[in-house]
Structure 1
Amino acid sequence: MDLEILTLLPDTSQVKERLLQQTEITIERALTVDAKKRRDWQGVAFSSIFLCATGGLVFEAVDTGGAAWWLTVPALLTGLLTWSGFAQSFPKKLRDVNDIPVNPATAEEPKKSDPAPEGSG
């Protein structure tokens, strides 16, 4: 959209230069920051396990004809854990080496390994 507007503006327009700069910033961010975003696949795997457990509990509660109605309580708990796990792990986010989401504005470049302190080892 911005590129279409950019081509329609005359070369002498002051807005054209600002729009060009903004477009370059957007493209640069897409190539750098967005390329580093990733999912927490370990969290997705754990959430999938909880999803199976929730399904099994619900199935057993229904299959017994209501005799095991109390299984709906742990099913509710595992269902909440499943939802929470998928909500935290599946979206692509900037993450540190431990797959913990970081704020892009405060993210630091990974530090090179510091030498071991003297006397250790």
Structure 2
Amino acid sequence: MKIGILLKEGPYNHQASDTAYKFAAAAIKKGHTVDAVFLYNDGVTNVTKLMDPPQDDRNIAARWSALSLEHGVEILACIAASKRRGINDDLLIKGGLITGLGTLTDIAIRNDRLVTFGD
């Protein structure tokens, strides 16, 4: 099955980021294809390389980067939400890309499922 993910919450203040990542990793492990993760609203803050968590905490941005680089999952941040939060291409993790909201429609059309995490 081909799966697209929509993540609408930022890291560390809600469980949505962790749950979305664990869902994606589990789906890939079971043989499914995770085509793309589209970050919207505060979700765009998941892919900023300015994130510097303590050593004993998980690095959510690094997780998304690894998922992209190791499994070819597109990690896409909404341009309007990114601009509102001061995030530009220079601040993105490896594997991250800023794109338009129309890409979310494409993800929904080309995948069997679009799973949403966050309010």
> TM-score band (shorter)?
under 0.3
Tell me which protein shows more helix as a share of its residues. 1
Which structure has the bigger radius of gyration? Answer: 1
TM-score normalised per structure 2: 0.25
More strand by share: 2
Normalization by structure 1: what TM-score?
0.24
Q: Relative contact order: is structure 1 or structure 2 higher (C-alpha 8 Å, sep ≥ 6)?
A: 2
